[in-house]
Amino acid sequence: MSKFIIQVNGSAYGTSASVNALRFSQAALLAGHQIICVFFYQDGVYNSTDLSLPASDENDVISDWKQLAQSHQLPLVNCVSAALRRGIVSKQDASENGLSHWNVGESFIMGGLGELVTGIESADRLISF
């Protein structure tokens, strides 16, 4: 079986990148493959906001990522630089920068490109969406 790192570059809505990455991840895990982490980069960091409220008849992609992570102990990692420049702020970053609000869900962790590179070294494949 293969070990993957999934890189998501597209937002939860407006492109198919996130949904395609989610479906690929679900299928890979079901087939017995391992996902080392899902790394959200560029506009992909918008997948981590707790302030997205899709209509009741729409798929909640962000919630689906959280459920997948919880079910498979799958790390969901935001590129901290990409996130902060887009107003995607974790509780820790808010505290460190004197902000009273944050919007990153607890299922997501902030990390850097170094974590992506380290993960790539132990993965068989990097799949980007």
Provide the CA 66 distance to its chain's centre, in angstroms: 9
Exactly one of 6, 22, 68, 79 is catalytic; name it. Answer: 79
Q: Is 79 a catalytic residue?
A: yes
* Distance from C-alpha of 71 to C-alpha of 80, rounded to nearest angstrom: 24
* Distance from C-alpha of 6 to C-alpha of 2, rounded to nearest angstrom: 12
Please tell me whether residue 87 adopts helix, strand or coil conformation: coil
* Distance from C-alpha of 89 to C-alpha of 97, rounded to nearest angstrom: 10
Q: Which residue, chain included where needed, has tokens 């808010």? A: 94
Active-site residues: which are they? 79
